[in-house]
Amino acid sequence: MRLTSGRHVDGEVETLIPETSSGESRAAHRQRTSQRNYVDAVRFRERRKRIGFAVVVIAVIVAIAVGAGFLAFRGLVGSQMALQDSDAADALVPVRSDEPYYALISVELGAAAAPLEHTGPDVMLLVRVDRQNKSFSFVLIPPGLQVATESGAKRVADLSLKGDAAMISAVSSFAKVDISHYIKVDKGGLEGIVDALGGIDVDIDQVIDDPHAGDVYLPTGTYTLTGSSALTYLRADNLRLGTTDQLQHQSDFAALLFEKLFSNEGSFATRLDSIDEYFQTDMSLADVEAVQAMVGGISANSIAHTVLPGYLTEVTGVADTGDPLYVASSDDMAAIITSLEAGSQPDVVSSSEIQAANPASFTVEVQNGTNIAGAAAETTDRLTAAGFNVVKTGNAEQPVYDETLVVYKGEEGPSRAKAVIETLGVGRAVSGEIYYSFDADILVITGADFKPFI
């Protein structure tokens, strides 16, 4: 830029005016620069708007993708656990508002060998969910429970041959409650659930060594059960009180499993995703999440649970499948339901807490329930030598008993039966004051498992 020389104009000196190299005036240059800056600013704002819009678009796309992924995840979980090939819906009653509801859980344990397989489920839990009081409780119903049908007495598990609805209806009728949901777990499913949860810690009160239950040996003490060892533990029935102990083990294990499942540790969604393929249910994902939200962090000790009391009967031909019936009182079930609805633990003592009674404090009758000559007499001699008061010895009406039964009655019956079983080293305790007729306090019926005492 250069300055033009000053010159006189009308007697005045003209002010020097800067010029650009092209001869452009300062004002023109300033105007052109201002225009260029304005254009640049407009372009910058437009570019920033475009970038902001792009960011918003990307954010929306990501949100949609995440939402779609979340919905897809929920849809996958929901479809994985959906009940398949079941008529359960025909027997289920819709949940009413926020009122408590009942759900039936059926579990198949399978068997260590195919010939030992039973029809239908091997464990059944009638679960009560109280959403207002945030309580969770259940009663274990033996699958051999005797129920009345049009064609006679049947095991409730055998009704599964007719479909899930028939079995659900039978339990509902016996318990006199509506059942709103159904959960179904098979042998492989239970194994998968236990393993996915990292195992279940169980306090084993007696050695588990039953070849009919599996090849796993479980010593006493605290033990973390894997899927396979859990099956052995739940199947085993060669215990001190036979089926009584087995059912108690199953009930306590179920409470521990619920504690682990509904733990607040980690993500429940992740935990549910790891097990959804191992069970089937009519419940929606939202239904299951609602239970978690209600009882999350619950402990096994705070879950009111018990076993429906009763005993097995081995009368040949009563059950179509040949499996024994479990005889229980509807009054006992009504009392349990009343306790659960009151939010209290049913007054049932665990068999592990029962103390053996003094042998001389009660009377015993011994019957031979087999064709083994001298079984009743030898059993009588063994008991008498141990201090028991045997008042009668004879034969049962039919020699059809596969195992020795120790039949008791009254509140002190379990402790008396335990004393007899510990002395004989064999026998299964059953409550039988309704279905067995005897005058003594305890009735011992020797079975095919009798072996001469050495």
- pLDDT category at 74 given cuts 50, 70, 90 is very low
Whole-model pTM: value is: 0.66
Residue 398 has a CB neighbour count (10 Å cut-off) of 10
All residues at 6 or more sequence positions from 291 whose CB lies less than 8 Å from its CB, including other chains: 129, 136, 262
- Lowest-confidence range among 26-35, 80-89, 206-215? 26-35
d(CA 97, CA 102): 13
Instruction: Evaluate if residue 60 carries a pLDDT over 70.
Output: no
Please state the rounded mean pLDDT for residues 232-236.
Answer: 96
- pLDDT category at 9 given cuts 50, 70, 90 is very low
Residues 328-358 pLDDT 10s: 888 888 889 998 888 787 765 555 557 889 9
Residues 140-186 pLDDT 10s: 999 999 888 887 788 999 999 999 999 999 999 999 999 999 999 99
Closest CA to 94 of 184, 182, 166: 182
Which residue type is seen at 40? D
Predicted confidence at residue 208, as pLDDT, reads: 93
Report percent pLDDT > 90 for the chain: 48
Instruction: Evaluate if residue 10 carries a pLDDT over 90.
Output: no
Predicted confidence at residue 343, as pLDDT, reads: 79
Mean pLDDT over each residue of the chain, to the nearest integer: 83
Residue 245 or 138, more confident = 138
Predicted confidence at residue 29, as pLDDT, reads: 61
